[in-house]
Amino acid sequence: MVTSGQKMAPAAEVAVQLPESKLAVESISGTMSGPLVGGSGGGATAAMRPLGRKAEVMHVLLRLLCIITSVAALSFMVTAQQSSSISIYGFTLPVQSKWSFSHSFQYLVGVCAAVAAHSLLQLLISMSRLLRKSPVIPSRSHAWLIFAGDQVFAYAMVSAGAAASGVTNLNRTGIHHTALPNFCKPLRSFCDHVAVSIFFTFTSCFLLAASAVQEVRWLSLSKF
């Protein structure tokens, strides 16, 4: 009886161990085919889009608005020209004003053209990625690149708007202690065009700053 008991013991051990091995195999297969495997792709996509799809759409809208405002600033400035007459010491003199006569206005036109080209390029890239349902900002290096570009152009727009504002203010107030009058009275259309151009210039600067803030948020939340 002892001998038969000794022979039956291994069989009992096998019978006990079989369910454990089956459970182990099922747990391994469940791990490989379960929600963890399917969730890895979603986690990577979420990491590539730390701000969400709505923020990417907003990023594209900011680019579109920046194009509109910079082109508007450029258009109003290049159409700023007028001829009239002015009285100095009782003498009536003809005057002509045009945006190209001022280096500050020329600088504003050049900066607005560069910002419009930069925003158009970024808009085309972002739209193509958005339509393909790919992340608008695919990597940290791309985010740093467009952030640096937005910063540079935003500061350039500020300087261009400030320089043009100084010249416009001088035209409106004249020069103290001289007989030079307010040139914007006879050249009202010219000054109005310049004023609207300066307004759109600072608006473009604000939109570039808003885009830069979004890129900073992306860099702070991104895991790549």
- pLDDT tens, 83-110? 776 666 666 776 778 888 889 999 999 9
> d(Cα 53, Cα 61) in Å, to the nearest integer?
13
Per-residue pLDDT at 193 exceeds 80: yes
Region of 34 (left: φ > 0; alpha: ψ -120 to 50; beta: rest) is beta
Across 47-56, 110-119, 205-214, least confident range: 47-56
**Mean pLDDT, the chain, integer:** 76
User: Dihedral, CA atoms, 108, 112, 114, 120, nearest 10 degrees?
Assistant: 180
What is the distance between the alpha carbons of residues 213 and 207, in angstroms, rounded to a whole number? 10
- CA 142-147-152 angle, to 5 degrees, is 130
Does this model's pTM top 0.75? no
In the chain, % of residues over pLDDT 70: 66
In this structure, what token pair is assigned to residue 148? 């640096």
Residue 134 confidence (pLDDT) above 50: yes
Report pLDDT for 14. Answer: 43
Rounded distance between C-alpha atoms, residue 224 and residue 57, angstroms = 21
Instruction: For residue 120, give the nearest of 70, 170, 195 by alpha carbon.
Output: 70
Could you report the per-residue pLDDT of 17-66, keeping only the tens digit for each?
444 544 444 444 444 444 333 444 444 445 556 567 788 889 999 999 99
Going by pLDDT thresholds of 50, 70 and 90, the confidence category of residue 137 is: confident
| Cα-Cα-Cα-Cα dihedral sign, residues 201, 207, 210, 215 | negative
